[in-house]
């Protein structure tokens, strides 16, 4: 990990005219994944996470760079593959988004909440579409003996 340029809590990124400090993003991510661990439905797919502080740091970094901040961790993300094997589906996504939006509302100002809610909903739609495409490819490879398959 390259922590040479680790942001200060008060450092900001701006998305469509709305500012977020690094501390805002970290507070949302920490609160959300703490809640996930106590959710009877979502804690199940998240049992693959063995190091929660590392996951929270990784996801804080993910949103920071997604909002235009400079990368400060050596981190490669592969959400489509990870979500597919975590059993991502429409019901889990709508539960995830409901909880995420509740967290945003409790931690942020109204403009920050509205913008991040919208962005996360759009990312959920994109993830769903990519998950469906990945499933089709995965199932078609599995049904053709002799071709590479992911199992
Ligand atoms: C808009 C909705 C969502 C976003 C933006 C999102 C984003 C992410 C990102 C960026 C990662 C890190 C991926 C990586 O390390 O390469 C991740 C990990 C993960 N997500 Fe999501 N996620 C969403 C919804 C969900 C849902 C609905 C589930 C339920 C199955 C889920 C389950 C997981 C799990 C289990 C991991 C950790 C995988 C591991 O490292 O073991 N996510 N998510």
Could you report the per-residue pLDDT of 20-61, keeping only the tens digit for each? 999 999 999 999 999 999 999 999 999 999 999 999 999 999
- How many other C-beta atoms lie within 10 A of the C-beta of residue 131? 20
Residue 100 is predicted with a pLDDT of: 98
Residue 135 lies in a domain: yes
Residue 110 lies in a domain: yes
Q: Ligand 1 atom 20: the closest Cα is on which residue?
A: 83
Residue 147 is predicted with a pLDDT of: 54
Q: Please report how many Cα atoms fall inside a 13 Å half-sphere around the Cα of residue 58, on the Cβ side.
A: 13
Ligand 1 pocket (Cβ < 6 Å) reads 45-46, 48-49, 58, 62, 77-79, 82-83, 86-88, 92-93, 96, 120, 123-124, 127
Distance 82 CA to ligand 1 centre (A): 7
Residue 27 lies in a domain: yes
Please state the rounded mean pLDDT for residues 75-104: 95
Residue 37 lies in a domain: yes
15 φ/ψ angles, rounded to the nearest 5 degrees:
-125, 120
12 φ/ψ angles, rounded to the nearest 5 degrees:
-120, 155
The total of structural domains in the chain comes to 1
Residue 92 lies in a domain: yes
Label residue 148 by pLDDT band (50, 70, 90): low
Residue 149 is predicted with a pLDDT of: 46
Residue 144 is predicted with a pLDDT of: 77
Residue 149 lies in a domain: no
Residue entry with tokens 């760079």: 65
Q: Which domain holds residue 122?
A: 14-142
Residue 148 lies in a domain: no
Distance 55 CA to ligand 1 centre (A): 10
CATH code for position 55: 1.10.490.10
What is the Cα–Cα distance from 85 to 76, expressed in whole angstroms? 17
Q: Which helix (H) or strand (E) holds 15?
A: strand 12-15
Label residue 146 by pLDDT band (50, 70, 90): low
Q: Which helix (H) or strand (E) holds 139?
A: helix 110-142
């Amino acid at each position: 990990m390259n922590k040479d340029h680790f942001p200060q809590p008060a450092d900001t990124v701006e998305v469509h005219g709305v500012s977020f400090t690094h501390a805002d993003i970290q507070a949302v991510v920490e609160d959300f994944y703490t809640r996930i661990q106590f959710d009877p439905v979502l804690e199940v797919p998240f049992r693959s996470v063995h190091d929660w502080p590392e996951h929270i740091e990784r996801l804080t970094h993910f949103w920071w760079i997604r909002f235009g901040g400079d990368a400060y961790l050596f981190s490669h993300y592969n959400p489509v593959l990870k979500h597919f094997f975590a059993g991502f589906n429409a019901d889990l996504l709508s539960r995830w988004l409901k909880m995420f939006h509740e967290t945003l509302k409790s931690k942020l100002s109204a403009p920050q909440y509205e913008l991040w809610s919208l962005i996360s909903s759009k990312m959920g739609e994109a993830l769903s579409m990519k998950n469906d495409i990945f499933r089709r490819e995965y199932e078609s490879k599995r049904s053709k003996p002799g071709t590479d398959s992911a199992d």
